[in-house]
Structure 1
């Protein structure tokens, strides 16, 4: 591929639909950027409607072109974030290679699922696919990289002392491909309903990072449950007061009858 080439993947679209979308891209390139582009089909997968295009900018004098590789400032290759920091910021992530061998996991996930730290542990050893309905392979993941994934822990992999109903954990998130290392990282969060649902699985509200919306959802659920309990108690108290009022009214009528006789 040349410096000005662009690789475009159309996932979940038939080839004729993807070609129609490319025509729209040509119009946008011409009207907004003043340039012409060509398209070449590189790869197709009929079983999953996966089409891969190579988009090339035509050479035009006087047109603004993308900078060549030798004109782009090369950034430092020094690692910008340490592994420990990444595992702390994303405590529920799972990173694995093309053989689905787990390379790295978040701190919290490693605590509740100790098996992930064992040698040669693979994704299929600890997690089953709930959604999407496909065989969990590296190729399938790349073909459905823009899909929301829901994975569920396999039986007896969580280290929690609770009933069987809570000895599993649903993880919901996205798959992110890292081309530099040919790894995939599953950035996810626990799918729980409330604080009780969280703690029964050996997790705490502090395990969920501040940037994760799951924390707010759990706290809002707790507030809603507290308000519901208060409303229910008020309804019960109101029913008791009404029952007491009816009993007093009945006794009053009896007293009035005895006084009349």
Structure 2
């Protein structure tokens, strides 16, 4: 067991995380936050940088190690089958486990049943790693298309919080992060965060883990000029043509955006 957590698995704010593995789907892979080399960055990569910086204050350079196993489009069962065993094998001090969102998007999905499978995975991970941080869903009341799923997402979020209580997991509470309810926190596809949105989530995750952060993740956005209704309509038409229709097409064909994608950091390596 890693030595940087309290009994029960929570970071104690004094000892320092030396290794981190991210598990999940497009949210954790970082879709919406492109890096200079063509791969995505995202909140997990940004959190790893903050953790590495904290580690560097008390350990040799390069001592912190990071893996990101997340793949866009993955459903919970495939994440559990492919990523959870690898995360257990790596046995890092910290795992962030954010999954189930793609399942909730499926018509007729049952958040209670999804939560049962999520809990089994949390219990499995907790037996092998130092700390398991879990993520709630976003509040989608202002998000086109997804707003009608708000009840399902809220139910799943309540389950995640309860599971965290049972297994003493820190919680990255995205539902209460008001700054990501601004449209500028989202990429043009309106399904993934923008670079600024990912940055704010990384800062909140660091706070949850007891780190001092360089900025307030819930700092209000600068006032935005009111857009004319005609501009809003044009933007919605462009979004539907370029993002919504292809997304629906993939669902009808049984395809996933991650079918040919491999994890970007499958091994624990220094940053």
TM class by shorter-chain length? under 0.3
Structure of larger gyration radius: 1
Choose between structure 1 and 2 for higher RCO, CA contacts under 8 A separated by at least 6 residues: 2
Which TM-score applies when normalising by structure 2? 0.23
Which TM-score applies when normalising by structure 1? 0.24
